[in-house]
Amino acid sequence: MTKRIDKAFIAEQNEKLMPGVQEDYDALARKLARQDIDIEKITQKAAEFQVAVPSWGTGTGGTRFARFPGTGEPRNIFEKLEDCAVINDLSQCTQAVSPHFPWDKVDDFTELKGFSDNLDLKWDSINSNTFQDQPGQAHSFKYGSLSNTSEASRELAIAHNLDCIKWGEALGSKVLTVWVGDGSNHPGQSHFQRAFERYLESMKRIYAELPSDWELHIEHKMFEPAFYSTVIQDWGSNILAAMELGDKAKSLVDLGHHAPNVNIEMIVSRLIQFKKLGGFHFNDSKYGDDDLDSGSLHPYQQFLIFNELVDAEYRNQEGFGPGYLLDQSHNVTDPIESLMNSAASVQRSYVAALLINRETLYGYQDSNDAIMASNTLKNAFVTDVSPILQMARARNGGAIDPISVYRASGYRASAAKERPSSGHSGSGIV
Ligand code: PSV
Ligand code: MN
């Protein structure tokens, strides 16, 4: 087992930085006070913020062309959890881990639950995988899973999702997220309506077995692996399916799964309005589903999404409580560093959105003052809330500067010794 980073070591590193952080924090407190904002209230909210980590994000990702393995990569779910514990120890906002089955399948789920409890980790949404065949699989998903024209393949896909619910119950999860790669590569290959009907029929079988306190999240994606059409291509098909299934079915928004320039924050608003926002997969992209680190390219877009989320929170919108999860692929960085950076980036967007005076904004909107409305958002966005994030982490026992503490700890080097490389360097999108 790779040794966790000592709490005392984190505290020691924090001590060196705290005088500077305190100075910045006090200055920011004075600046915010001039806007009638109590910094302590914001810091409290920042300290309570959580975004889950994807188990599959702890390994080095790849593309269709190649994968360049990192050192000390986790080889199984237990080692992935060790890395997730480090991320949470330093970040203090990532207590939950989202598993992906069958990648993370174990023989003994009680043992796995005990292991995660010991690391003080919780389980987020369960992700099923019917987008690839497993060794020896009797009926292929090559031509789709829940919407396959073959009943045998559909049955297999349904059975896998039901297994996921069972495994999730053992772990204490409350959400099943279904993303299928079903679609077509050629015009005419698939009958759009029939494929969607088959998908809905299969999803109804899964929905029927959902425990009463669970939600079923549907994830849309407009392309890949199918490049002409996908069965759940956008939020339209997504919400139609969720409405068809029932109240426990909601839509999940992965930031990379839209056409370029789509107004994602507006989609978020619509889903909130109709109690259909299930959750998010945060990442960033320039060209498609690039799975780049959250907020690394479009931090303003991420902030605008949080503007909608904080607005719903402010209005006590009924049925509002989406799940936040990172879903990104780290091809050239240390995944632990990327995940810590991304969690802080998402938390930053949330905190910045909290600075918006909602009543003032509504006033500008109602009087059609476009410039002042826009500036209200911009002013919040450009406020450097770093001292709030740093203070929230330190107060929770995390690191003021997670990456430097992680590097100084030598965690990756010890992991490299304990986890010899599997030598796998083939292609692979995760
Ligand atoms: C598909 O691109 C996706 O976003 C889905 O959430 C999958 O579960 C995940 O990536 C991992 O492949
Ligand atoms: Mn996703």
Read off the pLDDT of residues 151-206 as tens digits, 9 standing for 90 and up: 999 999 999 999 999 999 999 999 999 999 999 999 999 999 999 999 999 999 99
Kindly report the average pLDDT of the chain as a whole number. Answer: 97
Residue with tokens 């240390």: 334
| Residue 411 pLDDT greater than 90, yes or no | yes
Q: Interhelix angle for 370-382 vs 335-354, to 10°?
A: 140
Residues with CB under 6 A from ligand 1: 56, 127, 179, 219, 221, 254, 281, 289, 327, 430
Q: CA 62, 65, 70: angle at the middle one, nearest 5?
A: 35
122 close to 96: Cβ distance less than 8 angstroms: yes
Q: Which of 11-25, 26-40, 409-423 has the lowest mean pLDDT?
A: 409-423
Reported confidence tier of residue 2, pLDDT bands at 50, 70, 90: confident
Cα(82) to centroid(ligand 2), Å? 22
Nearest CA to ligand 1 atom 7: 179
CA–CA separation, 379 and 143 (whole Å): 49
CA–CA separation, 195 and 217 (whole Å): 19
- When computed from its CA atoms, the radius of gyration of the chain, rounded to whole angstroms, is 22
Nearest CA to ligand 1 atom 1: 179
CA–CA separation, 314 and 309 (whole Å): 9
Q: Of all residues in the chain, what percent are helix, strand and coil, respectively (each to 5)?
A: 50, 10, 40
Q: Count the neighbouring beta carbons within 10 Å of the beta carbon of residue 260.
A: 8
pLDDT for the residue 1: 86
| Residue 429 pLDDT greater than 80, yes or no | no
Mean pLDDT of 54-63: 95
Mean pLDDT of 346-351: 99
Q: What is the pLDDT of residues 69-108, one digit of tens each?
A: 999 999 999 999 999 999 999 999 999 999 999 999 999 9
328 close to 342: Cβ distance less than 8 angstroms: yes
Q: Give the N- to C-terminal CA distance of the chain in Å, as an integer.
A: 24
Reported confidence tier of residue 423, pLDDT bands at 50, 70, 90: low
Q: What is the pLDDT of residues 107-160, one digit of tens each?
A: 999 999 999 999 999 999 999 999 999 999 999 999 999 999 999 999 999 999
Q: What is the pLDDT of residues 370-393, one digit of tens each?
A: 999 999 999 999 999 999 999 999
CA–CA separation, 72 and 2 (whole Å): 10
Cα(58) to centroid(ligand 1), Å? 14
Q: Interhelix angle for 358-366 vs 370-382, to 10°?
A: 160
Mean pLDDT of 317-321: 96
Nearest CA to ligand 1 atom 11: 430
Q: Ligand 1 pocket: which of 100, 131, 327 to mutate (most atoms <8 Å of CB)?
A: 327
pLDDT for the residue 158: 99
Cα(230) to centroid(ligand 1), Å? 14
What ligand has the least distance to the C-alpha of 253?
A: 2
What ligand has the least distance to the C-alpha of 289?
A: 1
Cα(67) to centroid(ligand 1), Å? 17
CA–CA separation, 136 and 226 (whole Å): 23
pLDDT for the residue 427: 47
Q: Which long-range contacts (CB under 8 A, 24 or more apart) does 146-149 make?
A: 146/178, 146/180, 146/182, 146/198, 146/199, 146/202, 146/203, 146/231, 147/180, 147/182, 147/195, 147/196, 147/198, 147/199, 147/202, 147/231, 148/182, 148/198, 149/198
Mean pLDDT of 223-237: 97
Query: How much of the chain exceeds pLDDT 70, in percent?
Result: 98
Phi, psi values for residue 420, rounded to 5°: -60, 145
Nearest to 251 by CA among 241, 266, 264, 261: 241
423 close to 67: Cβ distance less than 8 angstroms: no
For residue 219, the ligand 1 atom closest to its alpha carbon is 6
Q: What is the pLDDT of residues 282-313, one digit of tens each?
A: 999 999 999 999 999 999 999 999 999 999 99
Nearest CA to ligand 1 atom 5: 179
Q: Which residues are paired to 326 by β-bridges?
A: 282
